[in-house]
Amino acid sequence: MGVSSDPGAGAPSLAAGSRLRAQLEFVLEADRLKHVLRQSLLTNGSRHENDAEHSWHLALMAVVLAEYGPPGLDLGRAMQMLIVHDLVEIDAGDSFIYDEAALATKAEREQAAARRIFGLLPPDQGQRVAALWEEFEARESPDARFAAAMDRLEPLLLNFQTGGATWRPNGIRRGQVVARNGPSLAEGAPDLWAFAERMIDEAVARGYLGGADTAE
């Protein structure tokens, strides 16, 4: 994929190595995120959500739910993290949060993807975007923890609305959901974790999710 230097190809000619060419190469590469499917279904159950839809949804959630974030939250910075956090999945793919084998290689695959994808940008921008991604992954700043909480809450909401569409076919149980989602939600948005716990219990009661197990 590339920004053509041939005007006859339907795009303006851009000199190789120009800043704008590099920026547009990255923008066009990011379009591939629309083709990366996630485990979660849309709320109407019609199809799987894609990564671009997921990123947009998280950014919107951050705007709407910012009042539940930590004191001094920089909403703009959290939103930037959410927009870029899954770009690495263009190469690495979406790793199912309950797939231990996939999670074992996730960090290595995503680091390689980050180097290639963010490397498409001019160096100053590539470093800035990579830093946002790394901050999100580290979960050390309040903004990153709030962004991570959004990333964990959205799949829970979609699973509940679709009657456990991801949970039931994979035999997922309450203890797994709490272990994988609780820490990020509790750290980044404690009030939202309190809500999520009630939702998880209701999902068990409705049969969307397996109940207590030895891992819980």
Model confidence at 7, pLDDT cuts 50, 70, 90, reads: very low
Rounded distance, CA 159 to CA 141, Å? Answer: 28
CATH 1.10.3210.10 applies to domain 18-206: yes
Q: Is the pLDDT assigned to residue 10 strictly greater than 60?
A: no
Residue 47 carries which DSSP code? Answer: S
Model confidence at 11, pLDDT cuts 50, 70, 90, reads: low
Model confidence at 214, pLDDT cuts 50, 70, 90, reads: very low
Rounded distance, CA 30 to CA 129, Å? Answer: 13
Rounded distance, CA 54 to CA 37, Å? Answer: 10
Map out the domains of the chain as residue ranges.
Answer: 18-206
Task: Record the pTM.
Answer: 0.90
> Which tokens sit at 70?
């930590």
Residue 121 carries which DSSP code? Answer: S
Q: Is the pLDDT assigned to residue 114 strictly greater than 50?
A: yes
Mean pLDDT of the chain: 93
User: SS3 for 173?
Assistant: strand
Encoded amino acid at 158, one letter: L
Model confidence at 5, pLDDT cuts 50, 70, 90, reads: very low
